[in-house]
């Protein structure tokens, strides 16, 4: 094995171990937010490490390297959006134990909106179009 | 190099199995959505390791498609079930009143 092979091996194995840590965390953590905390590891860092390890091996093939860079870029752009939606849905639907939170700014904001303190921003719980879609 | 990719694929397989257990058990749909998200990420890692193992770039477009598909699927599921309430929610229009009552000590 050449030096680059060793670099690639280390990157691949560390990415895989992050995925394993996420699997254990998904299984053992008690609520949705903690599981999301564990699950973020292969979604961002693990995948980027594995992609780097693959790219080290594919370096002469420029098109494949660019495609893999785009995979990492898409994941970096989309993973926070999906996680944000998921965490907010968990907060709204009461799946997570909100009463155990030290600070719950989203709750405070919703209460302020309900009290009409933020007329410039749209209320976070707008039943209009969704009720239409549900019906 | 083949040994390294074999070990990495084995670790990823174990991780995927653990996530699938959560996918089956997950008490709420949101837990399953999170598990499916992680599963797609692990699948991406697995296909990438497969690319390294075979040394051929046949599966690189699969990686691109999977990375976008995972995002679309998880967002769709979350938007669809975002208002699920396992505690008590007779009518979704009463949700704000429900929440106020619940948080009032």
Q: How far is A117 from chain B (nearest CA, A)?
A: 16
Q: What's the whole-model pTM score?
A: 0.80
* Among the listed residues A97, A102, A110, A125, the one whose alpha carbon sits nearest the alpha carbon of residue A33: A97
Per-residue pLDDT of chain B (105 residues; tens, 9 = 90+): 788 899 999 999 999 999 999 999 878 888 899 999 999 999 999 999 999 888 888 888 999 999 888 888 888 888 887 664 444 444 444 444 444 444 444
Question: Residue A92 CB: number of other CB atoms within 10 A?
Answer: 20
* pLDDT tens for each residue of A96-106: 887 888 888 88
Size of interface A-B (CB pairs under 8 A): 210
Q: Do B64 and A70 touch (CB under 8 A)?
A: yes
A 58-87: CB under 8 A from B: 58, 61, 63-64, 67-68, 70-71, 74-75, 78-79, 81-83, 85-86
Question: Residue B63 CB: number of other CB atoms within 10 A?
Answer: 27
Locate the domains of chain A by residue range.
3-98, 102-135
Q: Which residues of chain A have pLDDT under 70?
A: 121-135
> Exposed, middle or buried, B28 (CB in 10 Å: 0-12/13-18/19+)?
buried
Query: What is the C-alpha to C-alpha distance for residues B77 and B70, in angstroms, rounded to an integer?
Result: 11
Q: Do B57 and A85 touch (CB under 8 A)?
A: no
Residues of B in contact with A107 (CB under 8 A): 103
Q: What ipTM was estimated for this complex?
A: 0.82
Q: Do A16 and B8 touch (CB under 8 A)?
A: yes
Question: Residue A32 CB: number of other CB atoms within 10 A?
Answer: 24
User: For B5-21, b where at least 16 C-beta lie within 10 A, e where not — what string?
Assistant: beebbebbbebbebbbe
């Amino acid at each position: 094995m050449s030096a680059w092979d060793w670099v690639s091996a280390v990157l691949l194995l560390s990415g895989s171990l992050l995925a394993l840590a996420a699997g254990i965390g998904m299984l053992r953590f008690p609520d949705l937010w903690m599981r999301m905390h564990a699950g973020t590891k292969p979604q961002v860092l693990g995948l980027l490490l594995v992609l780097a390890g693959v790219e080290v091996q594919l370096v002469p093939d420029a098109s494949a390297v660019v495609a893999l860079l785009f995979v990492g870029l898409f994941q970096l752009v989309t993973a926070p959006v999906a996680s944000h939606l998921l965490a907010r849905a968990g907060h709204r639907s009461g799946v997570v134990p909100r009463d155990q939170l030290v600070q719950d700014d989203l709750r405070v904001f919703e209460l302020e909106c309900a009290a009409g303190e933020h007329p410039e921003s749209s209320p976070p719980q707008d039943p209009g179009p969704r009720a239409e879609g549900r019906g | 190099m083949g040994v390294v990719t074999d070990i990495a694929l084995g670790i990823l397989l174990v991780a995927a199995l653990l996530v699938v257990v959560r996918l089956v058990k997950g008490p709420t749909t949101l837990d399953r959505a999170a598990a499916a998200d992680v599963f797609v990420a692990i699948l991406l890692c697995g296909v990438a390791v497969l690319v390294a193992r075979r040394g051929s770039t046949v599966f690189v477009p699969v990686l691109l498609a999977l990375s976008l598909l995972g995002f679309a699927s998880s967002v769709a599921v979350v938007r669809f079930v975002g208002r699920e309430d396992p505690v008590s929610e007779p009518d979704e229009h009463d949700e704000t009143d429900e929440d106020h009552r619940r948080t009032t000590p």
